[in-house]
A = this chain, B = another copy of it.
Amino acid sequence: MTLETGSENTAHGGVQGVYKHASAATGTDMTFSVFVPDHAPGVKLPVLWYLSGLTCTPANVTEKGEFRAACAEHGIIFVAPDTSPRGDDVPDDDSWDFGKAAGFYVNAVQPAWSQHYHMRDYVEKELPELVASAFPAEMDRQGITGHSMGGHGALTVSLRNPGRFRSTSAFSPIVSPLNCPWGEKAMTGYLGPDRTAWREYDACALIEDGARLPDLLVDQGTADGFLEGQLKTHLLQEACDAAGQKATIRMQEGYDHSYYFISSFLAEHVGWHAQRLKGG
């Protein structure tokens, strides 16, 4: 796999890069960003994945996330994939919550979308292999987080791959696509009307069906305009309570859905992941 460097900037003593490669999973070029802290030659570092939300590219968190100081302090590589396949020949939808920038981290099976929309394979298989080969990444020490649609992605990727991630957290996640308009639209569009097929892409359903994580940290703003209609954090709390899943789900007073919220707590999440990534 060949990696093309879009940009590399010195930042917080390390290197913030943006890279492009031809993806077999999506059949398109894909762009992602990686921050590698300063480190001694030959040393490998734990990896924290960050999956982004609707309308985003990797640029949003890379520019606004305020994660680099904490990643430099703790010696953690930070990887941010894109949110969908891109390109003129990739099908799209007029709405902002489906199609481009709204891949929902699924493998689409509906014919209109199944040629390119394989974001599950991309973030679960192809990109990790590329990261392992091209960066000083210690792949048995991985954590994952994400925002909104990317929070949904972080939770479901981790729940479906037991043992891969030592730590899982999320910001304002869509906790149950089965139970919100964004999810119903995306799952119907990419997967079709059979709701049983959606369960592997639904954090609450995965927990109900027996998947478990060692621990879970979720932050959700109380002033988030999507909380009541789309995110429904309480469903995750209820699923965790019912299943005995260890989880710290924090309602953060006055915070909204924006990067002003994420950037207020992402450094703390990095520290939380670091505790779990750097132990024995």
Contact = CB atoms under 8 A, between A and B. Distances in A.
Interface in A1-30: 9-13, 16
Contact of A11 (B9, B12, B69, B263): B263
Contact of A259 (B10, B13, B63): B63
How many protomers of this protein does the assembly include?
2
A261 interface: yes
Given A69-B267, A267-B69, A11 B260 contact: yes
A275 interface: no
From DSSP, what is the main secondary structure of chain A's interface residues?
mixed
A244 interface: no
A161 interface: no
Centre residue among A9, A63, A64, A261 by max chain B CB count within 10 A: A9
Interface string A43-82: 0000000000000000000011010110000000000000
Contacts of A260: 9-11, 16
A200 interface: no
A114 interface: no
Interface stretch (A129-137, A147-155, A186-194, A250-258): A250-258
A221 interface: yes
Q: Which 8 A-B pairs have the closest CB atoms?
A: A9-B260, A11-B260, A10-B254, A12-B264, A10-B255, A66-B66, A63-B64, A11-B264
